[in-house]
Amino acid sequence: MAFSVLDMSEDDVREFANALVAVKTDIGYCPECQNISAGGLCPVCEDPERDRSQICVVEDFRAVAAVERAKGYKGLYHVLHGSISPMKGIGPDDLTVKELLHRLNGGEVTEVILATNPTVEGETTAMYLSRLISPLGIRTSRIANGVPVGGDLEYTDEITMRRAIEGRYDL
């Protein structure tokens, strides 16, 4: 970034500097899903076409972008801003769990898709949320583990391979 700035015109650098500051001043969080938002509700929460009965719970806004890129998912999101990690001293109170439970009170949501990362922290978070949400009579589901599309079984790690076989579906 430092060397690129040297190659830029002064006007461009000023514009860039203002844009950088604007990131911190103009970008806030959506009061519903806690995703980043330029003031007020985010575009997903605002969209009347989205299915309000499904909430896809993710760790951060990067994951929202990943699921949106994949297309196909038409529900809402909830951004936790992290995952439970005793090692890093991050507990449920450090995440937006309270905000999620508040959203589930409305009675409109019938399924919570737990799309935290398939890491130790992400799995722990998914399990924790499932135990919290299931008693409310709301379906909780977890995204599938398996062989990535286009991949080769030979280069698939053991745990993923085992999950791919366990998670096999009927044709």
Residue from 6, 21, 23, 70 in contact with a second copy (CB under 8 A)? 70
Q: Characterize the bridge pairing of strands 51-58 and 36-37.
A: unpaired
Contact 78, 97 (CB under 8 A): no
Smallest distance from a second copy to CB 162, Å: 4
The reply to whether 150 sits near a second copy by the rule CB under 8 A is yes
Residue 143: left if φ>0, alpha if ψ -120 to 50, beta else—which one?
Answer: beta
136 binds a second copy (CB under 8 A): no
Residue 37 or 122: the one with the smaller Cβ distance to a second copy is 122
CA distance 118 to 112: 16
Helices within 58-104 (DSSP H only): 61-69, 97-104
Alpha-carbon gap, residue 107 to 129, rounded angstroms = 17
Closer Cβ to a second copy, 20 or 70, answer by number = 70
Of the candidate residues 6, 11, 69, 89, the single one contacting a second copy (CB under 8 A) = 69
**Residues found near a second copy in the complex (CB under 8 A):** 56, 58-59, 62-63, 65-67, 69-73, 113-115, 117-119, 126-127, 130, 134, 139-154, 156-171
